């Protein structure tokens, strides 16, 4: 653990970008079962690389505008004296380093998962190929799943899947679900049964078939009127959608401000 104020600042500058990377990766990828050591190592590694890249970028900017950022030589020679003599410049440098490193870490998420391809490169088994990687733009996988027990078949749009390394311990979640009995006709008024969501343990699946279709529109209420509203838009939805553009914009704006301020 850090034992001085300077060490605390260095610790934060490394950990914050790594945490930003990890949280963004989790939000944009299916959940994974990993040890705390692997997660912590990834946070520290990404944070250290992002901080090193941000430091190189800021040093290059300082070469162009020496008065805009603190002196690396002064900080390395006697950090306490330099901070005391230049508190405002040091604070600007720390904030610039933190913003730049975090923006670079968020940009690095695109190297793990393409923002347009929708694929997950971390996994290469057939489940991920069918349900994530091999999906056309604007479409969602629609599954027909035959269950091992009970003589049921399930049809619905793929919603999510946990990512346990053991296939039998995975679970599928479907939405807009129809449940069929194989020994009964689907038009008798009872079957298929319709559900909003259905979770299926992988160990209960005999086989599944995949097609691609657009999600159906929200149906109108039985008595007429407007369709029921879906999940309301949240302030962070647009930012998450354009995360890479926003992170790149932060870097450009930060560089411009520092150059102009110098």
Average pLDDT over residues 107-133: 60
Per-residue pLDDT tens digits for 8-64: 777 888 898 999 888 887 776 655 666 788 888 989 999 999 999 999 998 888 888
Confirm whether 127 is domain-assigned: no
* Rounded distance between C-alpha atoms, residue 101 and residue 54, angstroms: 5
Is 17 contained in some domain? yes
| Residue with tokens 């679900």, as numbered in its chain | 177
Do residues 35 and 102 share a domain? yes
In a shared domain, residues 98 and 150: no
In a domain, 219, yes or no: no
Q: Does residue 220 lie in a domain region?
A: no
Flag whether 104 is in a domain. yes
Among 213, 230, 252, the domain-final residue is: 213
How confident is the model over 154-206, as pLDDT tens digits?
A: 889 988 887 676 777 888 889 888 888 776 654 444 556 788 888 888 888 88
Q: Between 113 and 155, where is the model more confident?
A: 155
Pairwise CA distance, residues 31 & 29, whole Å: 6
Q: Is residue 148 part of a domain?
A: yes
CATH code, domain carrying 190:
2.30.30.100
Three-state SS for 213? strand
Residue in 112, 131, 111, 95 with CA at minimum distance from that of residue 12: 95
What are 156's two structure tokens? 């619905």
Q: Domain containing 103: what range?
A: 5-117+241-261
């Amino acid at each position: 653990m850090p034992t001085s104020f300077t060490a605390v600042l260095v610790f934060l500058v490394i950990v914050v970008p790594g945490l930003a990377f990890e949280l963004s990766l989790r939000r944009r990828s299916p959940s994974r079962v990993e040890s705390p050591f692997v997660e912590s190592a990834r946070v520290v590694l990404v944070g250290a690389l992002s901080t090193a890249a941000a430091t190189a970028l800021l040093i290059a900017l300082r070469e162009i505008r020496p008065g805009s950022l603190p002196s690396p030589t002064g900080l390395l020679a006697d950090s306490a004296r330099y901070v005391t003599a230049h508190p405002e410049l040091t604070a600007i440098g720390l904030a610039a380093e933190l913003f730049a490193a975090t923006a670079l870490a968020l940009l690095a998420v695109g190297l793990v998962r393409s923002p347009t391809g929708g694929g997950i490169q971390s996994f290469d088994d057939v489940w991920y190929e069918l349900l994530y990687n091999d999906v056309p733009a604007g479409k969602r996988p629609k599954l027909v799943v035959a269950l091992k027990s009970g003589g049921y078949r399930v049809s619905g749009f793929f919603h999510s899947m946990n990512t346990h390394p053991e296939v039998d311990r995975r679970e599928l979640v479907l939405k807009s679900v129809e449940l069929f009995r194989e020994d009964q006709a689907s038009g008798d008024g009872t079957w298929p049964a319709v559900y909003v969501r259905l979770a299926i343990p992988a160990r209960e699946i005999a086989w599944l078939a995949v097609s691609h279709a657009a999600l159906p529109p929200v149906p109108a209420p039985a008595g007429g009127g407007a369709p029921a509203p879906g999940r309301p838009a949240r302030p962070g939805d647009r930012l998450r959608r354009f995360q890479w553009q926003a992170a790149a914009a932060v870097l450009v704006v930060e560089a411009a401000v520092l150059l102009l301020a110098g």
